[in-house]
Amino acid sequence: MPAPTILMFDSGLGALTVFREVARARPDARLIYTADDAGFPYGRIPEPDLIARVLTVMSELIERHAPDLVVIACNTASTLVLPHLRAKFSVPFVGTVPAIKPACAASASKLISVLGTEATVGREYTRKLIADFASACTVTLVGSARLASFAEAELRGEPASDAAIAAEIAPCFVDDGARRTDTVVLACTHFPLLIDRLRTLSPWPVIYLDPAPAIARRVVDLLGPTKGAVPEHEPVFLFTSGRPPSPALEKVLLAFGPRRAGAGEQAEAS
């Protein structure tokens, strides 16, 4: 097939780590990143309203850009809206779900934590993943109300304090005297944006599981690997608020992609 168009979708800027991995896996693709910043954070939106919102925004994006594949790089949207998207649209979707199965397989202590938004860890979908794939592990669910916002602020040059971040991750670290947590599932695509600070502030070393590489592998599974010469495509960054990024934020965005965004490409998505 010719170079594909891949649409990346998230409630904010958390999917930038996924964007980077997909760009590496398919450097020939035309990449469109959409941040539904007008609705961020998704956890505050009632479920029926969120389903309706994502379906509306996605309908407009698909009509406008005709993507060959859509990556829903948001755990909340994936666990809640993905079945509705697949029922409504023929384009293939790649979702993001907590990496509980590989975490349990990788854990030596069999004591793992799932760090997500309050909405994601409270959802029945997450509990079913634990029941299906983590029966050999003890799983601690940790819902953070502030970590996604901290990640967004970090990108904008307004980092949260060490104490504030440490307080959000502290419940992930369990020591029962015989075992202690050795693996933390990052069940929000925003959280890997803080990975260096998470490692520094951890009370002991753990494996932090980032979903981005697995998502990129799934994209390649569906589209196939790059073949032939790699054409030049500039990534497009869209914000549903209609506000273009500041020069400082644009510099950060471009650091996650292989090419510079074209002037005037920032546009309203809904």
Find the angle CA(121)-CA(215)-CA(83) to the nearest 5 degrees.
Answer: 60
pLDDT attached to residue 261: 35
Instruction: Identify the DSSP state of 4.
Output: P
Looking at residue 257, what is its pLDDT? Answer: 65
Phi first, then psi: give them for residue 230, nearest 5 degrees: -95, 115
Tokens 């994006």, residue located: 61
- Dihedral sign, Cα of residue 169, residue 174, residue 179, residue 185: negative
pTM: 0.85
Q: Could you tell me the CA-to-CA distances from 21 to 129, 213, 224 in Å, in that order?
A: 24, 6, 15
Is 74 a catalytic site residue?
yes
> What does the domain layout of the chain look like in residue ranges?
5-96+213-255, 100-210
**Domain 5-96+213-255, second-level architecture:** 3-Layer(aba) Sandwich (3.40)
For residues 144 and 117, the answer to whether their CB atoms sit within 8 Å is yes
Cβ contact 50:72 at 8 Å: no
23-27, 42-46, 251-255 — which is least confidently predicted?
251-255
Beta bridge mates, 142: 115
Q: Which of 63-77, 158-172, 210-224, 239-253 has the lowest mean pLDDT?
A: 239-253
Residue in the block written with tokens 């273009």: 244
Among 74, 104, 137, 172, which one carries the catalytic annotation?
74
Tell me which of 3.40.50.180, 3.40.630.30, 3.40.50.720, 3.40.50.1860 is the CATH number of domain 100-210: 3.40.50.1860
Q: Look at residue 46 in the predicted model and tell me its pLDDT.
A: 92
- 113 strand-pairing partners: 140, 184
Residue 11 has pLDDT above 70, yes or no: yes
Q: How is 153-194 classified by DSSP, letter by letter? A: HHHTT-PPPHHHHHHHHGGG--B-SS-B--EEEEESTTGGGG
Q: What is the pLDDT of residue 266?
A: 36
pLDDT (tens digit per residue) in 106-136 = 999 999 999 999 988 988 889 999 999 999 9
* Distance (Å, whole) CA 98 – CA 121: 9
Residue for token pair 């760009």: 23
What's the CA gap between 203 and 206, in Å, rounded? Answer: 9
Average of per-residue pLDDT values in the chain: 89
**Residue 188: active-site member:** yes
Q: What is the pLDDT of residues 183-210, one digit of tens each?
A: 999 999 999 999 999 999 999 999 999 9
Tell me the one-letter amino acid at 15.
Answer: A
Active-site pick, 104, 137, 172, 188: 188
Dig out the tokens for 109 from the structure: 């202590």
- Across the chain, how many H-helices and E-strands are there? 11, 9
Cis peptide before 83 (omega within 30 of 0): no
pLDDT score recorded for residue 234 = 79
Residue 97: band (very low, low, confident or very high) from pLDDT cuts 50, 70, 90: confident
User: What whole-number distance in Å separates Cα of residue 233 and Cα of residue 245?
Assistant: 20
Residue appearing with tokens 């793992």:
112
